């Protein structure tokens, strides 16, 4: 499942062709490994907004070194600008004044984060200026190159003390394939973030249910949640029972074999979690299928099966876990949507409908939930799996190159984003849909 094109452009002849023909030249992305520092280098801070004084302390708590200046000849691994103090359009010049002198002094695979205030919580010129930050960060994400990422984090004033888990994710290699995203913290519901005693195992003592866990993205989600300390309950269909049991044995987890579209599936899942684990803390709706066909040739079965698995089942399961009191206080519900659900895709009207519906589920639940429960979703783009490896070569190459990083992502990239949402420290991160797509160039 390796990227053969990326391997080719690193050869002498590949480098020559890239230089002379202007071909994409994807950088090998840095990804986090157990035991590594969150940020391997210096974070340079700027801005004079309301978080400027607390940001150094927040980063210090994560073991991340920071400074407000960069010594001559030194390089930065990340840049963070507190733009919450920008109250009118004239103040937007602070973006250029901070970033322009530093962009040529970044290490490879750098991270850039701009912090603002949700525009909907501001009025007049300040609202205009804060909304303008989105165009800046998305454009810089397509300029930065060298495997770099750029994000905008809107922080509601009530959530100023709840940004550590988000910075830990966005400044680290865990966010390798996430760029050009807008994250809202504290914009929906009460802020009930818990303290994280051990950032290397934030999910210790938590129970996590992962559907479609036997292979691909689901397998990697199970592995990463286990790495972060969770007891994982993997769920999959009977046809995948052998693979599921092997994986859960490896992770010292539990397994549940059933069809999530069965009429009694929500009740059976709730009963199992209550009886065997006393409840559940993290629910990841990863199970999904495709039955691609242009709408003119779509059969009832192709349409209905995709909607049932990808959308109806997650909704019914979530509501049963909530109504039955099986989802514990401070619980996390995480859906797996898709960039197809945001931008659409030829031959995927059924799939795109179901994945847009997952976003609708987030929107529906985000203001309803109580007891510190949150709901968010990831929206993967082109992720290299055994399934995408079977896609015709030309289609696969286009899918991998049409993003700011000129490459496909890996299942672990989706899993790391899920783990960020799942963290007890992410209690103020609610109602978000974050694309894991390398910042697609077109459509989303």
Which residue, 130, 227, 113, is CA-closest to 167? 113
Interatomic CA distance for residues 194 and 422, integer angstroms: 12
Strand (E) or helix (H) holding 386: helix 386-389
Span 43-77, pLDDT tens digits: 999 999 999 999 999 999 999 999 999 999 999 99
Distance of CA 271 to CAs 65, 283, 332, 444, Å? 46, 15, 18, 39
What is the per-residue pLDDT for 26? 80
pLDDT higher at 11 or 316: 316
Question: What would the pLDDT profile of 7-39 be if each residue is shown by its tens digit?
Answer: 666 777 766 776 676 767 788 999 999 999 999
pLDDT computed for residue 195 by the predictor: 81
**Identical fold, 38-185 and 207-436:** yes
Q: Which of 382, 370, 443, 372 is nearest to 411 (CA)?
A: 382
- Residue extents of the structural domains in the chain: 38-185, 207-436
Measured between alpha carbons, how far is 63 from 141 in angstroms, rounded to an integer?
A: 26
Q: Which of 244, 338, 238 is nearest to 285 (CA)?
A: 338
Q: What does the pLDDT look like over 350-385, one tens digit per residue?
A: 999 999 999 999 999 998 999 999 999 999 999 988
Distance CA 308, CA 317 (A): 12
Work out the average pLDDT over 231-253: 98
Write down the number of H helices and E strands in the chain: 16, 13
* Residue 444 pLDDT > 60: no
Where helices occur in 324-437 by DSSP H, the ranges are 340-343, 349-365, 386-389, 393-401, 411-422
Over residues 153-179, the pLDDT tens digits come to: 999 999 999 999 999 999 999 999 999
Q: What angle do CA 264, 266, 268 make, to 5 degrees?
A: 65
- Please state, in angstroms and rounded to a whole number, the distance separating the CA atoms of residues 69 and 351: 48
Which tokens hold the place of 303? 């349409």
Average pLDDT, the chain: 93
Catalytic hit among 5, 154, 177, 351: 351
CA distance 233 to 209: 5
Q: What is residue 431's three-state secondary structure?
A: coil
Q: Is the pLDDT of residue 338 over 60?
A: yes
Q: Could you give the CA distance from residue 183 to residue 403 in angstroms, rounded to a whole number?
A: 19
Please tell me the predicted confidence (pLDDT) of residue 393: 67
Q: How many CB atoms within 10 Å of residue 38?
A: 18
Residue 296 burial (CB count, 10 A)? 6
Determine the CATH number of domain 38-185: 3.40.50.720
Q: Each residue of 385-400: pLDDT tens digit?
A: 877 766 666 677 777 8
Taking the alpha carbons of 339, 439, 158, 199 in that order, is the dihedral positive or negative? positive
Instruction: Mark out the alpha helices in 171-228 (DSSP H runs).
Output: 216-227
Terminal alpha carbon distance of the chain = 25
How many Cβ atoms are within 10 Å of 37's Cβ, its own excluded?
14
State residue 189's pLDDT score. 73
Is 5 noted as a catalytic residue in this protein?
Answer: no
Q: Which one is predicted more confidently, 305 or 389?
A: 305
Instruction: Please tell me what DSSP assigns to residue 311.
Output: I
Average pLDDT over residues 311-325: 98
Are 43 and 171 a contacting pair, CB within 8 Å?
yes
Query: How high is the pLDDT of residue 13?
Result: 73
CATH 3.40.50.970 for the 207-436 domain, yes or no: no
Instruction: Choose among 202, 319, 314, 301: nearest CA to 261.
Output: 314
State how far the Cα of 392 lies from the Cα of 399, in Å rounded to an integer: 11
Look up the pTM and report it: 0.94
| Cross-strand bridge partners of residue 234 | 210, 255
* CA-CA-CA-CA dihedral for 187, 188, 193, 199, to nearest 10: -70
Whole-angstrom distance, CA of residue 350 vs CA of residue 344? 10
Measured distance CA(103)–CA(136) in Å, rounded:
14
Question: CA 44 → CA 59, 114, 146, 187, 344, distances in Å?
Answer: 11, 12, 18, 26, 38
The span from the CA of 273 to the CA of 258, in Å, is: 14
Contact 339, 444 (CB under 8 A): yes
On whether the CB atoms of residues 309 and 287 are closer than 8 A, the answer is: yes
| Cα 54 to Cα 42: distance, rounded to the nearest angstrom | 17
Percent of the chain exceeding pLDDT 90 equals 84
């Amino acid at each position: 499942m390796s990227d053969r094109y990326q391997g080719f452009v690193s050869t002498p002849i590949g480098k020559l062709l890239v230089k002379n023909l202007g071909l994409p030249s994807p950088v090998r992305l840095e990804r986090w490994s157990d035991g590594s520092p969150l940020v391997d280098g210096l974070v340079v801070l700027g801005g004079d907004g309301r978080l400027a004084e607390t940001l150094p302390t927040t980063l210090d708590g994560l073991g991340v070194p920071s400074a407000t200046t960069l010594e001559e000849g030194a390089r930065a691994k990340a840049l963070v600008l507190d733009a919450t103090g920008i109250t009118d359009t004239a103040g937007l010049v602070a973006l250029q004044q901070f970033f322009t002198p530093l962009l040529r002094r970044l290490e490879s695979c750098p991270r850039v984060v701009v912090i603002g205030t949700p525009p909907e919580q501001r009025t007049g010129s300040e609202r205009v200026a804060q909304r303008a930050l989105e165009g800046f960060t998305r454009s810089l994400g397509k300029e930065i190159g060298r495997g770099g990422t750029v994000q905008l984090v809107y922080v509601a004033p009530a959530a100023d003390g709840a940004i550590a888990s988000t910075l830990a994710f966005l400044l680290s290699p865990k966010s390798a394939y996430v760029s050009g995203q807008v994250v809202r913290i504290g914009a929906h519901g009460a802020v009930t973030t818990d303290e994280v005693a051990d950032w290397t195992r934030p999910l210790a003592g938590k129970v996590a249910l992962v559907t479609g866990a036997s292979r691909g993205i689901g397998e990697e989600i199970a592995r990463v949640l286990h790495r972060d300390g969770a007891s994982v309950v993997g769920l999959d269909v009977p046809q995948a029972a052998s693979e599921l049991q092997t994986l859960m044995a490896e992770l010292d987890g539990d397994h549940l074999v059933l069809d999530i579209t069965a009429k009694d599936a929500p009740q059976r899942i709730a009963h199992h979690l209550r009886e065997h684990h006393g409840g559940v803390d993290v629910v990841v709706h990863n199970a999904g299928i495709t039955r691609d066909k242009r709408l003119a040739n779509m059969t009832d079965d192709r349409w209905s099966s995709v909607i049932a698995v990808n959308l109806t089942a997650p909704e019914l399961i979530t509501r049963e876990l909530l109504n039955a009191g099986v989802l514990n206080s401070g619980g996390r519900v995480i859906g797996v949507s898709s960039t197809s659900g945001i931008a659409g895709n030829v031959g995927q009207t059924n799939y795109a409908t179901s994945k847009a519906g997952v976003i609708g589920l987030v929107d529906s639940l985000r203001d309803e939930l109580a007891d510190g429960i949150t709901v968010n979703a990831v929206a993967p783009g082109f992720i290299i799996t055994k399934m995408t490896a079977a896609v015709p070569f030309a289609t696969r190459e286009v899918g991998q190159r049409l993003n700011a990083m000129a490459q496909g992502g890996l299942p672990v990239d989706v899993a790391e984003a899920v783990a960020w949402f799942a963290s007890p420290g992410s209690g103020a991160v609610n109602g978000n849909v974050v694309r894991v797509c390398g910042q697609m160039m077109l459509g989303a």
